[in-house]
Amino acid sequence: FTNLPKISRDFLEKIGVSSYDVLNYIKRIINAKSGSIEILLKELIKSKNNGSLQSSDFERIKTIQFLPGIIIGSNTTTKYCPIELTFPSIVKKIGAEDYLPCLDYPTEINIMSPEYEILKQIGVSETPQLNKLLELCRYENLRKNVFKFILENHSHYSTELSKTKIQYLPCVRHINNKFQTNISQSSIQLCSPDKCYSCPNPFLPFLCDWAIDMINNIFNCEAEQKE
């Protein structure tokens, strides 16, 4: 768009017209630089800073299969679209190294670096896709970590959480006139939000003790920080 007035460039960008053939742009960089992700990111940063790539171009890059990703636990690498990947530190925080693909980067990425920022801009996520996270609640060893991560990032996930029918909430039941408390993970029943209740009752599943405690701790901390 270099030969167009700014107002014309802005209009074309808004309707999705690209200034580059971004697929061939990325292929050229990869082929010229022997596939080095570090050099590829530097080229993207340079193109962003000099205005060669517009926001619509970065949107297209999100769905191009070119970034190296890895399932850490199985040590298998392949090419992914940026929006399919999460930063390694997030996957490790959740404990999902055997399940979620993350960016395969040769060193730990400084979150304050331009490389980290450009990776976020092209779609690598600090918050994995919600449906993938909720499915991890099936695994007893991941359940608490996943639940905590979702609560800590509730502002990002809140709209999707209000609509999901996936069974992920850890619930217990009233059995033999006694409420189940302090039970093992294997005794927990996962429920979708519309089938779960916040208060103990004789007939229906309600949130288990540790889930309620976790919710109270996280939201009370947030309330204290705002005061």
Q: Give yes or no for residue 68 having a pLDDT over 70.
A: yes
At residue 1, the pLDDT reads 47
Of all residues in the chain, what percent carry a pLDDT higher than 70? 77
Helix axes 22-32, 37-49, angle to 10 degrees: 130
Q: Give yes or no for residue 196 having a pLDDT over 60.
A: yes
Residues 56 and 16 sit within 8 Å (Cβ to Cβ): yes
At residue 198, the pLDDT reads 80
CA pair distance 196, 169, nearest whole angstrom:
7
Tell me which residue has tokens 């460039």: 9
At residue 86, the pLDDT reads 96
At residue 32, the pLDDT reads 56
Q: Give yes or no for residue 217 having a pLDDT over 80.
A: yes
Of the pLDDT bands very low, low, confident and very high (cuts 50, 70, 90), residue 133 is very high
Angle at 185 between CA 183 and CA 191, to 5 degrees: 100
**Dihedral sign from CA coordinates of 138, 143, 145, 151:** positive
At residue 113, the pLDDT reads 94
Q: How far is CA 78 from the centre of its chain?
A: 19
Q: Could you write out the DSSP letters of every residue in 153-169?
A: THHHHHHHHTT-----E
- What's the pTM value of the predicted model, to 2 decimals? 0.78
Q: How far is CA 104 from the centre of its chain?
A: 16
At residue 60, the pLDDT reads 84
pLDDT (average), residues 192-214: 86
pLDDT (average), residues 20-43: 70
Residues 67 and 85 sit within 8 Å (Cβ to Cβ): yes
Selected residue with higher pLDDT from 195 and 26: 195
Of the pLDDT bands very low, low, confident and very high (cuts 50, 70, 90), residue 54 is confident
Helix (H) or strand (E) holding 197: none
pLDDT (average), residues 127-136: 94
